[in-house]
């Protein structure tokens, strides 16, 4: 090979001239894919071990390669490794350094594989690790919510539809709704992890290899359920990235909904909760302000995370088989999305753990807006044997009287209610308090405090 500064030392035999500086800049991914160093080294160690076991390289070469890779792993972890943009990516940076460390044996490592299956492997290993971490974080947040739900199992608050007072619920029940949402999020990540857990290593560039490799061996060594079944699909597939980002997007939306409610609840107009100083900020000009900035930032994160999902789908939508350089665009946005989801989960856990609920304020709000109107209608059905539609009409007329008199329903006299429906008795007042309303909702999944305590304890035990 010529001594002139011609082509890249890893792929330059075909090229006479060095790449343009702009080409190097747009082509290099080492600025971000260096995150893959542990996964890349793990894959290379499994591959080298398999090559020796299959008699493709000597045991001595494999021993040198494994030693060199361990040396490089320590160097990178210690911050003593120089990442070179001219070498494009993490794979070539490690391979070049391996040659410096152990000499010619390094050149045998790439036998029977390509950067195409190598990057697919690294990314799968990386996403798998991130999913494991996210599953743990979601479980931790679910537990924080379940503990709070038990503590606030009998705190009555207004339940809303259309952000209008609908029926009384308990604060614990409201918090458990997010536990259920997060449980679905966790199951999506778990399901995505199962589906992606096949190893692409050994698919090589796109067609497999003529070397007698053992793909089942490397798959097992790396914790996969087995090897992928089609070499083309192995290097072309980024479904596992899209699935991870889809699950991340839904989780981020759920966190954003809770964050929005925390913003609303913490306002002076609602004052349902107080957020701790740890997750609030002040104003540079208004000394009285307590801003729920952590919640607002979490509320804003889905824009980035959903954007990453959109971006990777757009990158992949028109690509022919098998690998194309467009797919290099799959990483930065994925890193950013998963980083921000992890941060959001951690911050939300801290905020929920630190909130204080204002029982009296919630209860007063729950009694407003004719929140027990449905209880009145249900009583008419249950006690007076009235068809529900008739009971709904009677209740609506009573609500109109209360609204005109600027009273709650339970502040009306029996005579005022009997003017609408003479059969109504004084027993009606037993169901018109918000406390009795929530206590009566004992159906499975209902808001009754006894249900909330049972569900909260179940989740805590499961988690």
Q: Which residues are annotated as catalytic?
A: 162, 283
Please choose, from the candidates 132, 136, 138, the residue with its C-alpha nearest in 3D space to the C-alpha of residue 348.
138
Helix 331-354 and helix 115-151, axial crossing angle in degrees, nearest 10: 10
Name which of 100, 120, 99 is nearest 108 in CA terms: 99
Q: Hunting for tokens 């001595």 — which residue is that?
A: 60
Packing angle between helix 293-300 and helix 331-354, nearest 10 degrees? 150
Q: If you write DSSP's letter for every residue of 272-329 in order, what string do you get?
A: -EE--GGG-B--SS-TT--B-HHHHHHHHTHHHHHHHHHHHHHHHTTPPSS--GGGGG
Strands 164-170 and 156-161, how do they pair? antiparallel
Query: Is the distance from CB of 44 to CB of 122 less than 8 angstroms?
Result: no
The tokens for 428 are: 């009606």
Q: Are 185 and 138 in contact (CB under 8 A)?
A: yes
CA–CA dist 453, 463 (Å, integer): 15
The CA–CA distances, whole Å, from 42 to 94, 126, 172, 431, 454 equal 12, 11, 45, 65, 45
Spatial contact of 380 and 351, defined as CB atoms under 8 Å apart: no
What is the DSSP annotation of 172-240? HHHHHHHHHHHHHHHHHHHHHHHHH-SB-TT-TTTT--SS---HHHHHHHTT-SSB-S-HHHHHH--HH
Cα torsion 232, 56, 107, 215: sign: positive
């Amino acid at each position: 090979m010529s001594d002139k500064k011609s082509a890249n030392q890893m792929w330059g035999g075909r090229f006479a001239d060095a790449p343009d500086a702009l080409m190097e800049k747009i082509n290099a991914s080492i600025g971000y894919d260096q995150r893959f160093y542990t996964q890349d080294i793990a894959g290379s160690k499994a591959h080298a071990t398999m090559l020796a076991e299959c008699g493709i390289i000597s045991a001595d070469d494999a021993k040198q390669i494994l030693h060199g890779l361990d040396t490089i792993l320590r160097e990178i972890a210690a911050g003593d490794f120089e990442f070179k943009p001219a070498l494009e990516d993490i794979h070539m940076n490690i391979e070049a350094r391996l040659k410096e460390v152990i000499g010619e044996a390094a050149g045998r490592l790439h036998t029977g594989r390509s950067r195409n299956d190598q990057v697919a492997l690294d990314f799968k290993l990386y996403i798998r690790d991130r999913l494991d971490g996210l599953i743990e974080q979601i479980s931790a947040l679910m537990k924080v919510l379940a503990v709070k739900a038990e503590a606030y199992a009998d705190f009555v608050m207004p339940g809303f539809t259309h952000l209008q007072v609908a029926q009384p619920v308990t604060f614990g029940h409201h918090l458990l709704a997010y536990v259920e949402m997060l449980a679905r999020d966790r199951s999506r990540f778990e399901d995505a992890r199962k589906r992606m857990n096949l190893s692409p290593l050994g698919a090589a560039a796109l067609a497999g290899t003529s070397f007698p490799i053992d793909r089942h061996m490397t798959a097992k060594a790396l914790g996969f359920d087995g090897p992928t079944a089609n070499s083309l699909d192995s290097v072309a597939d980024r479904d596992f990235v899209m699935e991870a980002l889809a699950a991340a997007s839904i989780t981020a939306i759920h966190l954003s909904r809770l964050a929005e409610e925390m913003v609303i609840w913490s306002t002076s107009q609602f004052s349902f909760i107080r957020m701790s100083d740890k997750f609030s900020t002040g104003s540079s000009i208004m000394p009285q302000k307590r801003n729920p900035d952590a919640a607002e930032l979490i509320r804003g994160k889905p824009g980035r995370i959903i954007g990453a999902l959109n971006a990777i789908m757009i990158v992949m939508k028109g690509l022919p088989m098998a690998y194309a350089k467009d797919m290099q665009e799959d990483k930065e946005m994925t890193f950013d999305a998963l980083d921000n989801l992890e941060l959001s989960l951690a911050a939300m856990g801290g905020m929920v753990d630190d909130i204080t609920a204002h029982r009296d304020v919630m209860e007063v709000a729950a009694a407003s807006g004719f929140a027990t109107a449905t209880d009145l209608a249900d009583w008419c059905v249950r006690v007076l044997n009235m068809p529900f539609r008739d009971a709904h009409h009677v209740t609506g007329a009573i609500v109109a009287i209360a609204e005109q008199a600027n009273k709650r329903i339970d502040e009306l006299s029996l005579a005022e209610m009997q003017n609408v429906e003479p059969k109504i008795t004084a027993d009606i007042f037993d169901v018109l308090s918000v406390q009795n309303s929530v206590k009566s909702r004992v159906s499975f999944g209902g808001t009754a405090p006894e249900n909330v305590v049972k569900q909260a304890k179940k989740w805590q035990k499961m988690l």
